[in-house]
Amino acid sequence: MKFLSWCLGVFVSAWAGQYVLAFFLPNIIMEALYQRGGDANSYNSMVVAPSPDETARSVVRPSPDLSYASCIYNLGAGPLRIEAPVPERYWSMQFYQMNTDNYGGITNQRDEQNRVGTIVNVTLIGPDSNPADYSGEVVQSPTQRGIVLLRSSNIGDDRESEDALVQSRCGPVVAG
Amino acid sequence: MKLFSWLFTAVLVVLLACVLLARTISAGFGAMGVQNGDWVTNVSAGSADAGVMLRATVAVGGLLASTREDSIYYRLNNVAGEPLRLNCRYRITGNDYDADWWSITAYGWDNFLIPNRLKRYAFNNENISRREDGSWVIHLSAEEQSENWLPTGPAGAPAWRQVTNYDFDLLLRLYTPGRAYIETPVSAPLPKVTLEGCS
């Protein structure tokens, strides 16, 4: 009887424990990506990734039809300005917090104002900042750290897509 | 002795919890998703609505997924209940879909692109060869085929790490999807995958 109770206790604890592990897992995986990406390149700057192929193994399921650029950010020293020219084909700027949630996004397909030829200009502020203190397009990150990911379709002639990503910037807001 | 007993129980609980979690995650969206034929999706992937298990599944098998307004992902790892195998040939048939663009990509069981001589990992609505009526057929196999051949092959990760019952899977991406995919993903039109034969 005592052994059966022990077995039941172990199983119930493990069953509940998997949810505890699942709760922390996204943060652990994002933390690893954050540290690896930031150490390999730098924080608060836009980095264009090579075209995805079988050697691209830093993030699961890369799309071979997309070019990517990312800014691994830390808003501890203040807000960031993200500038990105918009190409003709599919393009998006997505914002991720450290639990992997995609908390915001801009795309040239859904948003009429972000069409080819325009430059998207976003001020990315931290969770404790007041959006009313900033002008223009403001995105508030729920966490101090996270990742901004640019996706650009490389279907067909991929030069425009590559150029748009190369010309994109991520850096501290300069007063003035 | 009592301390050892507690330690042993704690380690056992953690190990068992890891196994249970791995089992859920390896099932992918299947356990918590929306089934449309053999394809499975989850409309909460990437969003703040995602539950604890879905968020963990996405973190392992689809990190940095976008929310459904930007893109919808349908995944397929079996045909009529039979896991996708390297020794089998498959036929994918379809047409055009209500989205800004779509693509079908083959991934190894390790969630990365499959190494192959042609460096061909996907077909999309522009690079696919079509019939006169606009429909198309993709041939999915390890052996080379004449037209629209999407190569399969061993994943890049060592085989001993494989914990899935399938050798590879397919991911259909629909970018800026139409209303049917957002509102009724269970019945929206999708490509059909059939098994042609196994060696």
ipTM field: 0.86
Contacts of residue A33 in chain B, CB cutoff 8 Å? 63
- Domains of chain A plus CATH, in order, are 40-172 (2.60.40)
Q: Which residues of A touch B123 (CB under 8 A)?
A: none
Which residues in chain B touch residue A147, judged by CB atoms under 8 angstroms apart?
64
Q: Which residue has the higher pLDDT, B178 or B27?
A: B178
Give contacts of A18 with chain B, Cβ < 8 Å.
17-18, 20-21, 24
Which residue of chain B comes nearest to A10, CA vs CA? Answer: B13
Q: Is the pLDDT of residue A111 over 80?
A: no
Residue B55 has what pLDDT? 87
pLDDT at B85 over 80: yes
Dihedral of alpha carbons A25, A28, A29, A30, sign: positive
Q: Does residue B26 sit at the A interface (CB-CB below 8 Å)?
A: no
Chain B hits for A9, Cβ within 8 Å: 9
Q: What per-residue confidence (pLDDT) applies to B141?
A: 96
The more confidently predicted of residues A31 and A1 is A31
State whether A62 and B126 contact (CB < 8 Å). no
Q: Is the pLDDT of residue A108 over 90?
A: no
Average pLDDT estimate for B1-28: 85
Q: How far apart are CA B44 and CA B32, in angstroms?
A: 10
Q: Which two tokens stand for residue B13?
A: 């609980």
- What is the separation of C-alpha A96 from the centre of its chain, rounded to a whole number of angstroms? 4
Q: Which of B14-28, B36-50, B94-108 has the highest mean pLDDT?
A: B94-108
pLDDT, average across residues B170-189:
93
Q: Is A22 within 8 Å of chain B by CB?
A: yes
Single out the residue of A176, A173, A168 nearest to residue A46, CA to CA.
A168
Whether A65 contacts A154, CB under 8 Å:
yes
- Which of B164, B170, B131 minimizes the C-alpha distance to B150? B170
Q: What is the mean pLDDT of residues A115-119?
A: 80
DSSP for chain A? -HHHHHHHHHHHHHHHHHHHHHHHHHHHHHHHHHHHHHHHS-TTSEEEPPPP-TT--SSSS--TTEEEEEEEEEGGG--EEEEEE--SS-EEEEEEETT--EEEEEETTT-TTS-TT-EEEEEEE-TTS-GGGS-SEEEE-SSSEEEEEEEEE-SS--HHHHHHHHT-EEEEPPP-
> Quick one: average pLDDT of A49-66?
91
- What pLDDT shows up at residue A176? 57
pLDDT digits (tens, 9 = 90+) for B103-143: 999 999 999 999 999 999 999 999 999 999 999 999 999 99
CB contact under 8 A, B65 and A102: yes
Q: Is the pLDDT of residue B94 over 80?
A: yes
Is residue B73's pLDDT more than 70?
yes
Query: What is the value of pTM for the model shown?
Result: 0.87
Predicted local distance difference test score (pLDDT) of residue B173: 95
pLDDT of A147:
96
Nearest chain B CA: its distance from A170 CA (Å): 19
- A3 lies within 8 A of chain B by CB: no
Q: Do B121 and A156 touch (CB under 8 A)?
A: no
Q: Do A10 and B12 touch (CB under 8 A)?
A: yes
Contact status of B159 with chain A (Cβ, < 8 Å)? no
Look at residue B30 in the predicted model and tell me its pLDDT: 59
The beta-carbon neighbor of B55 closest among A9, A26, A64 is: A26
- Kindly state the helix (H) or strand (E) to which residue B2 belongs, with its residue range: helix B2-26
Structural domains of chain B in order of their starting residue, each with its CATH number: 2-198 (2.60.120.600)
Q: Which of A137-141, A148-152, B45-49, B104-108 has the lowest mean pLDDT?
A: B45-49
pLDDT at B52 exceeding the cut of 70: yes
Cβ distance A54 to B119 less than 8 Å, yes or no, reads: yes
Interface test mutation site (partner B, options A21, A30, A70, A102, max chain B beta carbons within 10 A): A102
Average per-residue pLDDT for chain A: 90
Q: What is the pLDDT of residue A113?
A: 67
- The pLDDT value recorded for residue B115 is 95
Average pLDDT, stretch B146-151? 94
